[in-house]
Amino acid sequence: MQQLQEVDILCIQEHWLFQFELKFLEDFHQDFKSHSKAVDMEDPIPPIQKPRGYAGTGILYRKDIKVKEIKDGDHRICCLEILREQPVIVISVYMPAKGSKQRDEEFEVTLAGLEEIISRYKHTHQLIIAGDFNASLKTDRPDARDQKFSAFLLNHCLRISDGHPDTPTYLKPDGTECSSIDYVLVTADVTIRSTKVKVMATNTSDHRPVLTKYVPPPGQEVIKDISKATQESKEMAPRKLKGWKKVNLKEYSKITGDEIDDLNLPAPQSSWEASNIIQKISNILMSCKEKLTPAKPACRRNKKLTSQLVWTPAIKLALSQQKEQFCLWKKAGRPNDKNHPLVIAKKEAKKQFRCEQRKQNAAKYTEQIEEIAEPLTSMD
């Protein structure tokens, strides 16, 4: 919470949220708004099919900053235009991790997406690109990806923000400092006052936040801070926990105190040890709260909803066609003309999907009626 007060703009990578969860970032802090993208932005998944989260980018910005949200790029690139006399494009980017040929291809595709955005705005805007690039500019033995990344900066006249320290920004699981792969890149016309890699005891991420002071052209107001942070390193306000009114606070205090005492935690000798201790205590607090919160009464399922839970290959095919038509309609700019071919095709696909559902529900209903009527028939 305190760290969030120090910044005006926060670029996030790997928030691990899906499309239906992005509202969490929008409601996270009363002073900030969010422009975010999820990995399923082109084909949203329903909450009941939610897998483990991954990827995603976003930008949190103060509500008093005049901005325009830009839709350019896929889920790995999130763009925001700051509206001022000399407009600024802020880009949050998450490059694919190393590990396979497919990821190297995704890396090149994401670079191409960035090149398109840079070419579009470089003559009219200042550019600030903050992100997890999964490539290093500070290594003695650059690999093929590092070389491509360096060439990308050279081709588009980009540079690391002034004063970027040599402190590694990525850590191994055991806490060992590994490499520097998180940067704030700027064009030649952008003035950066200072950059620092922030080490925080409360950071449980394997990345360290990079903070940058931006200096606007003379006569324009200052943006205090443009920062980047990975999913776990976001220093954000905690969500308000619900259900505390039903918890026995005296019993909660006693149990948590006893369990923390049983840990016999030593004094931390490093920021990494301090983070582990904080995480253990947090787990105890949350676990005790859940144990002492009365269970919710089981809700009765809606009979009408239960009757609709029919799934067949025909319905699956119809749903796939509906999603395909929706994506084509969306990529065409969401036309509203009811006579537009894509609008007609989208409606027909949805109609076919509903038709298949009704057919299968009717067949199931008939089957249930026959099961009820069969014993009565045999009695006759």
239 domain-assigned: no
Q: What is the pLDDT of residue 130?
A: 92
Residue 125's closest CA among 93, 162, 79?
A: 79
Question: Is residue 16 domain-shared with residue 124, that is, in the same domain?
Answer: yes
Question: Is residue 218 domain-shared with residue 284, that is, in the same domain?
Answer: no
Question: Is residue 101 domain-shared with residue 185, that is, in the same domain?
Answer: yes
Residue 118's closest CA among 131, 108, 128?
A: 128
Question: Is residue 217 domain-shared with residue 357, that is, in the same domain?
Answer: no
Q: State the pLDDT confidence band at 59, using cuts at 50, 70 and 90.
A: very high
pTM of the entire predicted model: 0.57
Question: Is residue 315 domain-shared with residue 221, that is, in the same domain?
Answer: no
Q: Which range is most confident: 199-203, 285-289, 352-356, 368-372? A: 352-356
Mean pLDDT value across the chain: 79
Q: What is the pLDDT of residue 250?
A: 81
278 domain-assigned: yes
Q: State mean pLDDT over 17-36.
A: 88
Q: What is the pLDDT of residue 264?
A: 81
Secondary structure class of 250 (helix, strand, coil): helix
181 domain-assigned: yes
Question: Is residue 185 domain-shared with residue 255, that is, in the same domain?
Answer: no
How are beta strands 126-132 and 88-94 bridged, if at all?
parallel
CATH at residue 14: 3.60.10.10
235 domain-assigned: no
254 domain-assigned: yes
Structure tokens that stand for 131 in this block = 């992100």
281 domain-assigned: yes
Q: State mean pLDDT over 247-261.
A: 82
Question: Is residue 73 domain-shared with residue 190, that is, in the same domain?
Answer: yes
Question: Is residue 223 domain-shared with residue 367, that is, in the same domain?
Answer: no
Top pLDDT among 67 and 299 is at: 67
Identify the domain containing residue 253 by its residue range: 244-262+272-292
267 domain-assigned: no
State the total domains in the chain: 3
Question: Is residue 127 domain-shared with residue 185, that is, in the same domain?
Answer: yes
Q: State the pLDDT confidence band at 129, using cuts at 50, 70 and 90.
A: very high
Question: Is residue 167 domain-shared with residue 45, that is, in the same domain?
Answer: yes
**CB within 8 A of 38, min separation 6: which ones?**
17, 18, 19, 21, 22, 44, 56, 75
Q: State the pLDDT confidence band at 364, using cuts at 50, 70 and 90.
A: confident
Q: What is the pLDDT of residue 201?
A: 61
380 domain-assigned: no
Question: Is residue 249 domain-shared with residue 339, that is, in the same domain?
Answer: no
Q: What is the pLDDT of residue 367?
A: 77
Question: Is residue 355 domain-shared with residue 253, that is, in the same domain?
Answer: no
Whole-Å CA distances, 94 to 14, 178, 324: 7, 18, 26
